[in-house]
Amino acid sequence: MPSKRFTPKTRPSGYRDAKFIIIAAEGTNTEEQYFTDLAKSYPAQNIRVKVIPRSDPDPKAVIKALDDYRKEFSLSLRKDYDELWMVIDIDQWKEKMLSEVVASCEQKRYGCAISNPCFELWLLLHLKSLEEYDPESLRKFKEQRKVKEKKHPLKLELSKLLDGYNESNLDTSKFLGNVEIAIERAKALDTQPEHRWTNDLGTRVYLIAEKIINTK
């Protein structure tokens, strides 16, 4: 019986000049919906965005998803041009694990967008500046534990502002019109970009967003 012929996976000819931005996120729904709809809202001939579906929330599994994608599509990804990004939260992960994960990303030349404490901070920045909150509210936002209704304070705040917040079925129309504002607010919070992640409330998701909307 003849062996099955291997067909390399390459990018379609019409995509030859487009930059691929490949994203693997810790979350299973919210991030995928956000980045997919963001790319649709800012269509560009030279940008293609792919969010890798996954179910394991472990940051090491996020890196493995990027590893697997790069291996499978090695012939279509161009070194020093296409980009692979990891999107995770500080959340409950210990600093030692986060340091190992970020070091692995740096070694593999993956981008790393960490939110402190979680992705919902990035969403909130589309709606309000943190300057509008008092110190006690900011302290609660930074906490990594859940409160009433088993939700994080940032998720409760989004629910209050939006009259409901469903992270499994994100209504991105409530956010995408303000993405450029969110980018500027997140940049202002990132006062120590040389650090691997922000030690205070902050998110580096803006690094991906400004690439997708083609401002950088």
CA pair distance 142, 202, nearest whole angstrom: 9
Q: Does a structural domain hold residue 8?
A: no
Domain assignment of residue 96, yes or no: yes
Give the domain extent around 94. 16-212
Q: How many domains does the chain have?
A: 1
pLDDT tens, N- to C-terminus, the chain (216 residues) = 443 433 445 554 455 578 899 999 987 789 999 999 999 998 877 889 999 977 677 888 899 999 999 999 987 888 888 999 999 998 777 888 889 999 999 999 999 999 999 999 999 999 999 999 999 999 999 876 655 557 889 999 999 999 999 988 999 999 999 999 999 999 999 998 888 888 899 999 999 999 999 755
Residue 6 domain-assigned (yes or no) = no
Rounded to whole angstroms, how far apart are CA atoms 38 and 49? 9
Place of tokens 């969403």: 123
Note whether residue 4 is domain-resident. Answer: no
- Give tens-digit pLDDT for 151-199: 889 999 999 999 999 988 999 999 999 999 999 999 999 998 888 888 8
Model confidence, pTM: 0.88
Taking the C-alpha atoms of residue 112 and residue 90, their distance in angstroms, rounded to an integer, is: 12
Residue 158 falls within a domain, yes or no? yes
